[in-house]
Amino acid sequence: MTKQVSLLLMIATGLPSASGQVKRQAGFDVASIKLSKPGSTTFRVSAHQPIGNLFTTANATVQKLIMMAYDIADWQLSGVPTWVTSEGYDIEAKPERPANRDDMYAMVRTLLAERFKLAMHTERKELRLYNLVLDKGGPKVQVNENGGPPRVSENPGRAVFRNIPLTRLTTFLSVQANRAVVDKTGLTGTYDFTLEFAPSRGRVNSDAPSGPTIFDAVKDQLGMKLEPGRGLVDLFVIDHVERPSDN
């Protein structure tokens, strides 16, 4: 196994690279972080696009924040303290000026480093994965022609995607399939589509909706397939994390 500190972690935490210093990523101008009230069950994250003047969460765990900010699945994280997956936080953070979604998430990485003292490194390992490829009938996703902010809305067994590149789909599928998913479709645009499936991860109970497996849903509803393969995958190891500093 080869250990390496990835460039994205250097940018987020201000670590020096082999070729010199890397400038710290810009952060929020003002940020309030409060522990969610006991018993809270609602989870919400909003980057308030397209205006991009506010980032808010309700009952968001640090694990969820890391997954969102670094665009990774939960199984890619290790060294995770129990409180990181169980304690929810309500956050209200304002950038100095309006920011797009990617810049907003870069600010969340800085927030994690500065207020939660998050430090991580990556370990690259060859693992089984899935390649997302086109099925013989071709893609069934609709090219977005109306613009608008990129948006993903999730409920158990149903996910709605609007104006997103397939890289965001592969992250979603990585969580559902419990394996890395690599885009091999060759599709480079942004798309609108809906996935309905029987959830296999997270909170599954007798009230959970029935439906096709995520593999059948991808084939029948998107015109794509998840084919088994192998490749190098980045695994993220938490070296240090603390409960947030005072506002």
Read off the pLDDT of residues 78-96 as tens digits, 9 standing for 90 and up: 999 999 999 999 999 999 9
Question: Does 10 have pLDDT greater than 60?
Answer: no
The answer on 113 and 160 residing in a single domain is: no
The answer on 88 and 20 residing in a single domain is: yes
CA 131 to chain CA centroid, nearest Å: 19
What is the average pLDDT value for the chain, to the nearest integer? Answer: 84
Report yes or no on 7 lying in a domain.
yes
Amino acid (one-letter) located at 188: T
In this prediction, residue 49 carries a pLDDT of 61
C-alpha angle 237-238-242 in degrees, rounded to nearest 5: 175
The answer on 105 and 155 residing in a single domain is: no
In this prediction, residue 189 carries a pLDDT of 92
As a whole number of angstroms, the distance between CA 7 and CA 13 comes to 10
The answer on 171 and 91 residing in a single domain is: no
The answer on 101 and 18 residing in a single domain is: yes
The answer on 138 and 91 residing in a single domain is: no
The answer on 147 and 106 residing in a single domain is: no
The answer on 103 and 12 residing in a single domain is: yes
Question: Does 5 have pLDDT greater than 60?
Answer: no
The answer on 132 and 110 residing in a single domain is: no
Question: What is the span of the domain harbouring residue 46?
Answer: 2-124+233-240
In this prediction, residue 59 carries a pLDDT of 87
Question: Does 22 have pLDDT greater than 70?
Answer: no
The answer on 195 and 100 residing in a single domain is: no
Tell me the mean pLDDT in the region 35-57.
78
Token pair for 113: 């480093």
The answer on 33 and 103 residing in a single domain is: yes
In this prediction, residue 30 carries a pLDDT of 92
3-state DSSP of 3-17? EECCHHHHHHHCCCE
In the chain, the number of structural domains is 2
Read off the pLDDT of residues 206-226 as tens digits, 9 standing for 90 and up. Answer: 455 578 999 999 999 999 999
* Residue (of 119, 120, 69, 121) closest to 91 by Cα position: 69
The answer on 159 and 196 residing in a single domain is: yes
